[in-house]
Amino acid sequence: MEEISYTARICSDERKINSFLTEKRVGVLGMCDKEGKPYSIPVNYIYEDGKIYIHGMGSGKKNNILKEKSSVCFTVFQEFGTVKDSVPCKCDTSYFSVVIFGKAILVEDLEEKARVLTLIAEKFVPGFLKNPLSKEFVSKYRSSRDNNTTAVYCISPEDITAKENPIDMENMV
């Protein structure tokens, strides 16, 4: 893996990285199709047991690309604002970001898929489900848009990098 060149911005605090990934709701999934054409899209996700899980329709461009090439880059970031400086070209941005490299593998195990979909529902619509989703329900559910089952992908990190430029309240715009 290529090293981060701006070493002053590296964050290696695993607790901070894990908390950030758990808290945030949207990441950008970057892929390349078999011709090498890049494609990236924002997706809702959960971070569970050191892995990223995403879900969506069982058809479409994302699914087609991931069938061909499972290597992905997943980025989660938050911008906190602009840091001013008396020299305009030295203005900066306060942020925290995490970049994960790995493979997006389709979750086929119904118990894992039901568990992950339940966790996704709990994160994005707290209190909506009265009971966890069953593997029977998940196996029979079909999207009204394409009549496919919901696809769930697991990204096990092969490499994680994090960078930050902390908030400087005295100089924030």
Of 158, 148, 170, 157, residue with least CA distance to 81: 170
Q: Whole-angstrom Cα distance, residue 119 to residue 107?
A: 14
Query: What predicted TM-score, i.e. pTM, was given to this entire model?
Result: 0.88
Structure-token pair, residue 51? 């892995």
- Contact present, 83 and 172 (Cβ < 8 Å): yes
The CATH-assigned architecture of domain 7-108+149-171 is Roll (2.30)
Q: CA 172, CA 130: separation in Å to the nearest integer? A: 44
The domain locations on the chain are 7-108+149-171
pLDDT per residue as tens, the chain (173 positions): 556 666 777 898 999 999 999 999 999 999 999 999 999 999 999 999 999 999 988 778 999 999 999 999 999 999 887 877 777 787 788 889 999 999 999 999 999 999 999 999 999 999 999 999 998 888 887 766 666 778 999 999 999 999 998 776 676 57
Separation of alpha carbons 45 and 153, rounded Å: 10
